Structure 1
Amino acid sequence: MSFKAKSASIVFYVSDIVRTEKFYTETFGLDLTRMEGAEPFWLSGTLEGGPDLVFFEMDGVRGNTPALVFTVDDGGIDDIVAALAEQGVTIVTPVSEAPGGWSADFLDPDGFGLGLWQSGELPRSLK
């Protein structure tokens, strides 16, 4: 099973979410929304004509963040991750809970980290 990426987010793991919020809103004029589901909160905003930017306060290793995360719009994240594994793709983080849904991380052929995110309102499997 494959999927067609329709949207993506760039996810940043930051050390100080309040400092990050101030920087991106005051320096870049981005409209960021405080979201619930992670402590203390997380930020989300969309660039005009571009991808979503998402910020979580958590430890991040340089090279692992920012990360490109594709949204699964039709459900079936478990099926997609299983198919990736069958194709020999390295799964770094299996499907696990994420704010608002489910996520999984994997590597492309050159070792770049990519991710999937799916709303919790959609079925994890379509089988």
Structure 2
Amino acid sequence: MNPQDKNGKLDYIEFNVSDIARTCKFYASAFGWSFKDYGPSYCEFTDGRFTGGFSVGGAVTPGGPLVVLYADNLAQAQERVEKAGGRIVRPVFDFPGGRRFHFADPDGYELAVWSDQ
């Protein structure tokens, strides 16, 4: 996909899990997913079409994965989120692959926006 085609689109999803190895074993066995390890607290998965991650960094909330959108310009995306009534719940931070921030929408749903720029 052309990078401009990704702007503002769903791009990634993260699940907080209690045991990355157990979770990877389950999804590999059940669905044939493959994985890329980023250390003891994070693992990326792919189902062959869509990519996401498993993290042990937060509370396990069944039914509550983190939806991640992509932005060409992270600062502009944050400005638009705030102007639209969103609340920043985790300021911009670096992670393997880029930078991102988390926000709550008006109903309190937490999402994230990332950029590789």
TM-score (norm 2): 0.78
Selected match of 2:35 from 32, 42, 49: 32
CA deviation digits over 1:15-69, x for unaligned, max 9?
A: 11111111111122112222x3xx41532233344x3221122232526941100
- Between structures 1 and 2, the one with greater helix share: 2
Q: Which residue of 1 aligns with 2:80?
A: 83
CA deviation digits over 1:67-121, x for unaligned, max 9?
A: 100122x2x21222123223321111111122221111111222111111112xx
Q: Partners of 2:94 and 2:57 in 1: how far apart?
A: 16
Selected match of 1:13 from 3, 11, 16: 16
Show structure 2 runs of 5+ residues with no match: 1-5
Q: Partners of 1:18 and 1:66 in 2: how far apart?
A: 18
SS in 2 for 1:32: strand
Q: After the TM superposition, which segments of 4 or more aligned residues of structure 1 sit over 6 Å from their partners?
A: none
Asked if the contact 2:85/2:105 (under 8 Å) is kept, the reply is no
Asked if the contact 2:10/2:67 (under 8 Å) is kept, the reply is no
Show structure 1 runs of 5+ residues with no match: 123-127
Counterpart check, 1:100 vs 2:97: yes
Counterpart amino acid of residue 5 in structure 1: G
Q: Partners of 2:107 and 2:41 in 1: how far apart?
A: 33
TM-score (norm 1): 0.73
Counterpart check, 1:71 vs 2:70: yes
Q: Partners of 2:60 and 2:34 in 1: how far apart?
A: 26
Q: Partners of 2:59 and 2:85 in 1: how far apart?
A: 26
Q: Partners of 1:23 and 1:32 in 2: how far apart?
A: 12
Q: For structure 1, which segment, 39-48 or 92-101, has the greater mean C-alpha deviation from structure 2 after superposition? A: 39-48
Compared CA separation, residues 84 and 8, structure 1 to 2 (3 A): same
The RMSD of aligned alpha carbons is 2.3
